Homo-oligomer: A and B are copies of this chain.
Amino acid sequence: MAQLNLLQAVNHALHTAMEADDSVMVMGEDVGHFGGVFRATSNLQKTFGKARCFNTPLVEQGIIGFANGLAAQGAKPIAEIQFADYIYPAFDQIVNETAKFRYRSGGQFTVGGLTIRTPYGGGIAGGHYHSQSPEAFFAHVPGIKVVIPRNPYQAKGLLLSSIRASDPVLFMEPKRLYRASVGEVPEMDYELPLGKADLVQNGSDITLVAWGAQVEILQEAAQKALSHGVSCEIIDLQSILPWDRETICQSVIKTGRCLINHEAPLTGGFASEIAAVVQSECFLHLEAPIARVCGLDTPYPLAHEKEYMPDALKTFEAIMQTVHF
């Protein structure tokens, strides 16, 4: 066991995957010699050579286009998009190409070996363009998987599974947590299952759902709620697509209440999908409306970042409102 932060855990996973399989290659802006602007790819070029870990020109549509081709050829590219805010130029390559590659060819060709890594989320005074959480866009794209870890242990295990999955995976890293704290991470090679939620805390009055950096917001809010006598069950979704409907719904059937929290704007955010499924599957068990505590329907602001964020206080308020509905 080593004590690593999330960034180091990602770096460990990359080393592990490249060590184990020659066809794994890392590419993206500044990922080479420099090791990436966050240093997630540190020492990969030094260890595995420039051919397997390389800088690309500054063109996200090209990064994913190139990676699609490389994956189609049989390699396992891990393409980094420097910030999730800059993934949109690659949207066409992801939505129309990556996601449909296997289906449109009847399984003849696939880019299943592709993993896209990208740091996402706010809380770092990044303003409109270094704070976005675009997971909901990708949750509406059949054919890709979307995975988000919440701590170093999850990061390593889920990233290794993502790299080795037979389907293309968008792996989103909560950059606010990159160096926020350290956790125990096994030195060995291990994988965590995709498509499965993780029960973080047992509780009986309400089910709280989030992913990535917002899980700790739920924990903080739950702590506060507990001091008001409310027992919260906390679930980290981990996989946004496909997502673990069963775990969530079973929990809501038990608690009778549900709250979902994400940083992205409310309207059309992924909480809406969860709410739509939960109200349908758990209709007779719901004792209060499902609450969504999310970002505002505005671009991500700078000076008002604190006010914009679905923080622990807002979550706590919504818990209490839901419980006392």
CB within 8 Å of B: which residues of A?
Answer: 61, 85-86, 88-89, 91-92, 95-96, 99-100, 103-104, 128-129, 136-137, 139-143, 241, 264-265, 267-273, 275-276, 279-281, 283, 286, 288-292, 296-299, 325
A279-B270 in contact (CB<8A): no
With a cutoff of 8 Å between Cβ atoms, the chain B residues found around residue A270 in the complex are 268
Smallest Cβ distance from A287 to chain B, in angstroms? 10
**Oligomeric state, in copies:** 2
Give bound CA distance, A264 to B137, whole Å: 13
**Can you give 10 contacting A-B residue pairs, CB < 8 Å?**
A88-B92, A91-B91, A103-B128, A136-B140, A137-B137, A137-B140, A139-B267, A140-B267, A272-B273, A275-B279
- Residues in chain B near residue A91, CB distance under 8 A: 88-89, 91-92
Given contacts A267-B140, A268-B140, contact A289 B299 (CB under 8 A): no
Q: Shortest beta-carbon distance, A34 to chain B, in Å?
A: 24
Q: A89-B61, A276-B292 are in contact. Are A298 and B103 (CB under 8 A)?
A: yes
For A136, what are the chain B residues with a Cβ–Cβ distance below 8 Å? 140, 268
Interface of A is mostly: helix
Whole-angstrom distance from the CB of A64 to the nearest CB of chain B?
11
User: Which residues of the other chain, B, contact A299 by a CB distance below 8 angstroms?
Assistant: 99-100, 103-104, 142-143
Is the CB–CB distance between B289 and A280 below 8 Å? yes
Other 17 A-B pairs with CB < 8 A, given A103-B299, A280-B289: A61-B89, A86-B92, A88-B92, A88-B95, A88-B96, A91-B91, A100-B128, A139-B267, A139-B268, A140-B267, A142-B297, A241-B268, A271-B276, A272-B272, A275-B280, A276-B279, A276-B292
CA distance A96 to B141 in the complex (A): 20
CA distance A141 to B137 in the complex (A): 10
Q: When the two chains form their complex, are residues B279 and A289 in contact, meaning their CB atoms are under 8 A apart?
A: yes
- Point out the residues of chain B lying under 8 angstroms from A141, CB to CB: 268
Residues of B within 8 A of A140 (CB): 136-137, 264-265, 267-269
Assess the A276–B298 pair: CB atoms within 8 A.
no
In the complex, how many angstroms separate the beta carbon of A100 from the nearest chain B beta carbon? 5
A241 vs B267: C-alpha distance in the bound complex, in angstroms? 9
